[in-house]
Amino acid sequence: MISVFAEATFGSLRRTDQRRWAEVYLRGLLGTSGKKTVRRLAAAVSDRETAFQSLHQFVNASPWDWEPVRRELARWAEERTAPRAWVLCDVVLRKRGDHSCGVHRRFSPIDGRSVNGQVGTGLFLAGDREALPVDWTLYLPECWTGDPARRRRVRIPDGLAHRPAEAQALDLVDALAAHTRLPAVPVVADVSSHAGAEAFVRGLALRGHDFVVAVPGHLAFARAATVLPGPVRADQGQPSYRAFTTRTRPGRPADRTWLTNMPHRRTEELLALTRTPRLAQEAVRYMESDLGLADFEGRSFPGWHHHMTLVSAAYAYSRQPTTDLPYHLAALPAAA
């Protein structure tokens, strides 16, 4: 079954050896215990140094295009989940040094302190019980995009400039909207700690997307809107917005202010949408603990996107109700 899944998912890769190493990497992510380094994944195939060199080349240096693979993952996810939300989820991948593409220090609301790492944003298709990752973007601070030597070292594509996090998130929404085979569903995101929250909300509204977005309580839209159930117009000529708060535990102060442009949706439906980010966060935790999401040791921009694509494929395969896991690594194809 895993071979069939790999063939369908990575069928866009032009070369036979690329498709072969994609399957090897996928099997390694699913079946190798402990840290999922390229060397450990290669060792599951062969103890020869050529296996490591070939797998490292495939992930970090080979010029294969990850976008068609992600479109195939989105098609697979749409068939499996019957998505009711497109969920955007930020992921901080901690790094010790400062050589990996995009690494920088930033404040982490979860940790309550500054951490050193890469910041990615994933787009997930969320159904009733699970969320599947289908696309990723890597945040690149101006200290990376504006430094020619750094750009060359990690192979940041020419013409790729610094973009605010909210613009990158909107890019993910645009890409999925351009290729989805299903009607669009509401976009759900938590941008309550983002400086560009207002720009993100405006961007979704201008694109005509329905949304439920956690925003800073001081945001102008949130102040202008009313709490459920009465909608008001936030600005003259603009759509009606509705604001409401949620609590993680009864009796506790509200911890999120949500804004939606679906004022006539039932309260239960809106509250259900606010819970979909938890599904994405659960997926991220599983990918971190079991599929090596944060274990990639390469430093290049293409390598990061290759790894995130392969981990997403491994997660998609692991969600199938009838998989052939655990898979005996001894049965992997022999390395050249």
pLDDT tens-digit profile of 250-264? 655 567 899 999 988
In a domain, 253, yes or no: no
In a domain, 222, yes or no: no
Polymer length of the chain: 336
In a domain, 280, yes or no: yes
Average pLDDT over residues 44-64: 91
CA-CA distance, 57 to 242, in Å (whole number)?
50
| Contact residues for 79 (Cβ-Cβ < 8 A; gap 6+) | none
Buried b (16+ CB within 10 A) or exposed e, 117-136: bbbbbbbbbbbeebbbbbbb
pLDDT at residue 334 in the model: 38
99-124 per-position pLDDT tens digit: 999 999 987 766 677 889 999 999 99
The region of weakest confidence among 27-36, 74-83, 220-229 is: 220-229
Write the DSSP symbol of residue 122: E
Helix (H) or strand (E) holding 227: strand 226-227
Contact between 270 and 213 under an 8 Å Cβ cutoff? The reply is: no
Measure the CA angle with vertex 261, ends 243 and 135; round to 5°. Answer: 105
Helix (H) or strand (E) holding 237: none
154-185 per-position pLDDT tens digit: 999 999 999 999 999 999 999 999 999 899 99
pLDDT at residue 179 in the model: 95
Average pLDDT over residues 16-37: 94
pLDDT at residue 167 in the model: 97
Examine the pLDDT at 32 and tell me if it is beyond 50: yes
CA-CA distance, 29 to 34, in Å (whole number)?
10
In a domain, 218, yes or no: no
Examine the pLDDT at 89 and tell me if it is beyond 50: yes
The region of weakest confidence among 38-52, 170-184, 281-295 is: 38-52
Residue with token string 């239960």: 268
The residue that leads in pLDDT, 46 or 304, is 304
Amino acid (one-letter) located at 297:
E
CA-CA distance, 46 to 333, in Å (whole number)?
9
Examine the pLDDT at 4 and tell me if it is beyond 60: yes
pLDDT at residue 331 in the model: 40
In a domain, 125, yes or no: yes
Query: What's the mean per-residue pLDDT of the chain?
Result: 88
Q: Based on the structure, what is the number of domains in the chain?
A: 1
End-to-end Cα spacing for the chain: 23
Examine the pLDDT at 323 and tell me if it is beyond 50: no
Q: Over pLDDT 70: what percentage of the chain? A: 87
Average pLDDT over residues 236-240: 57
The region of weakest confidence among 93-97, 108-112, 165-169, 318-322 is: 108-112
Structure tokens belonging to residue 284 = 């991220």
In a domain, 304, yes or no: yes
In a domain, 182, yes or no: yes
In a domain, 228, yes or no: no
pTM (2 d.p.): 0.89
Q: Residue 79: give the domain boundaries.
A: 2-186+262-331
